[in-house]
Amino acid sequence: MLRIGTCWKWLLAIAGVVAVCVGITTVRTSRSSDTSVVANAAEEQQLALTGADQSAGGTNLQSLPSSLDGTTAPRLPVDTNGRLARTRAVRDFFDYFLTAQDAVPAKALDELVRRSIAAQLDGRPAPDDALAVWQRYNAYRTACAQLTPPGSMLDGKPDFNALQLVIDQRSSLADRVMGEWSEAFFGDELHQQRDDLARLRIASDTTLSDAEKRARLAMLDAALPQNVRAARERAREQQASIDAVAQMLKQGASPDAVRAQVAQTLGSDAAERVVQMQKDEQQWQTRYADYEAQRAQIGRIGLSPQDYDTQVQQLRQRLFPNAGDAMRVASLDQDSGNRVR
């Protein structure tokens, strides 16, 4: 049976279905209103770019925004004919630049994307393909920003019908604006959201017994693509291994025992990292025990509160020169009632 905490994680994930718009955006229930939104999207996107260009004085970025310093744009995929390959990687390329949309004018960002497309795809038919998809994607994002979301709660409970509307209408919007690129850009994401919502409905259905819920969830599992089922099974195995390791560490298991447990599901490299982390933590705890002993000695001297604070701070700085370690020590001291006064 699904835990309530897991259900709410699903609810939050589904309620935030729009991955490229600011905030939660969905389409209106009225189809005529939705059609109007789509019809105006391209025009408003162009107006936004023009307005941003005017307000920025025609700003033209010659280099990456500071938020992208030290990073590299994903590669645009090209098929054997030199055309842009219809894969999710194209959206990843655009989303890379959109992470800086709050830091630069829209027109400047548009020019940066266009230059980056030309730099990657020069001499092939693909640049025209990429520019056309970029324009569609901008129109889609503009349409999203105009939409009014329905409420996701009803009488204090999740409104599954409203959440279903969010998913279905967003899918419809993507199909109309993105066309043949809709599946590549949003297909996996929408499939995942529909599956999550179906599981959330089952988990929250008070008319079903635990056995009935397990049976229906198993049917959903069976309907998943093989690669998705395999990925979920690996994730379950890894989580089980992580939980087991956490319990072993809590019980003070030996490094060899921890290494063997982690290696079974996460591999030998991960096992060595976990063992090293365990050793580092043990060494840290030894240092902290030494610190506690010396702090207690300072407390027995009979210093004034101000002198005591000074001595303990100096002790921390000497034994824990790393700022993160010092903050951890201060937090432990506070929890135990031994904070510096």
Integer angstrom CA distances of residue 327 from 31, 123, 320, 323, 334: 56, 55, 9, 6, 11
Name the nearest CA neighbour of 282 among 240, 314, 309, 249.
249
Domain boundary among 170, 194, 221: 221
Does 320 map to a domain?
yes
Does 288 map to a domain?
yes
Beta bridge partners of 24: none
Whole-number Å distance between alpha carbons of 157 and 152: 8
Does 228 map to a domain?
no
Indicate if 154 and 105 belong to the same structural domain: no
Does 227 map to a domain?
no
pLDDT band at 125 (very low <50, low <70, confident <90, very high): confident
Indicate if 119 and 171 belong to the same structural domain: no
Give the three-class secondary structure for 92. Answer: helix
Indicate if 39 and 133 belong to the same structural domain: yes
Domain that holds residue 194: 4-27+148-221
Indicate if 328 and 261 belong to the same structural domain: yes
pLDDT at 99 over 80: yes
Indicate if 54 and 137 belong to the same structural domain: yes
DSSP 175-244: HHHHGGGHHHHHHHHHHHHHHHHHHHHHHH-TTS-HHHHHHHHHHHHHHS-HHHHHHHHHHHHHHHHHHH
Q: CB of 160 within 8 A of CB of 200?
A: yes
Beta bridge partners of 153: 158
pLDDT at 57 over 70: no
Token pair for residue 214?
A: 């397990």
Token pair for residue 253?
A: 């298991």
Indicate if 204 and 65 belong to the same structural domain: no
Does 131 map to a domain?
yes
**pLDDT, average across residues 36-52:** 49
Domain boundary among 146, 171, 204: 146
Q: What is the pLDDT of residue 97?
A: 94
Does 233 map to a domain?
no
**pLDDT, average across residues 59-63:** 55
pLDDT at 3 over 50: no
Beta bridge partners of 78: 84
Query: How many domains does the chain fold into?
Result: 3
Does 226 map to a domain?
no
Across 40-54, 69-83, 190-204, least confident range: 40-54
**pLDDT, average across residues 111-134:** 92
Indicate if 82 and 169 belong to the same structural domain: no
Tell me: the pLDDT tens digits for 136-168?
A: 999 999 998 887 766 666 666 778 888 898 899
Indicate if 182 and 139 belong to the same structural domain: no
Is the pTM above the cut of 0.85?
A: no
Q: What is the pLDDT of residue 28?
A: 35
Does 319 map to a domain?
yes
Indicate if 104 and 196 belong to the same structural domain: no
Whole-number Å distance between alpha carbons of 186 and 74: 18
Domain boundary among 163, 188, 221: 221
Indicate if 12 and 41 belong to the same structural domain: no
Mean pLDDT, the chain, rounded, equals 80
pLDDT at 258 over 60: yes
Phi/psi of residue 158, nearest 5 degrees: -60, 130
Tell me: the pLDDT tens digits for 265-303?
A: 778 888 888 888 888 888 999 999 999 999 999 989 888
Tell me: the pLDDT tens digits for 191-244?
A: 999 999 999 999 999 999 999 999 999 999 999 888 888 988 888 887 887 788
Q: What is the pLDDT of residue 68?
A: 85
Return the percentage of the chain with pLDDT > 70, whole number: 77
Contacts of 259 (CB under 8 A, 6+ apart): 271, 272, 274, 275
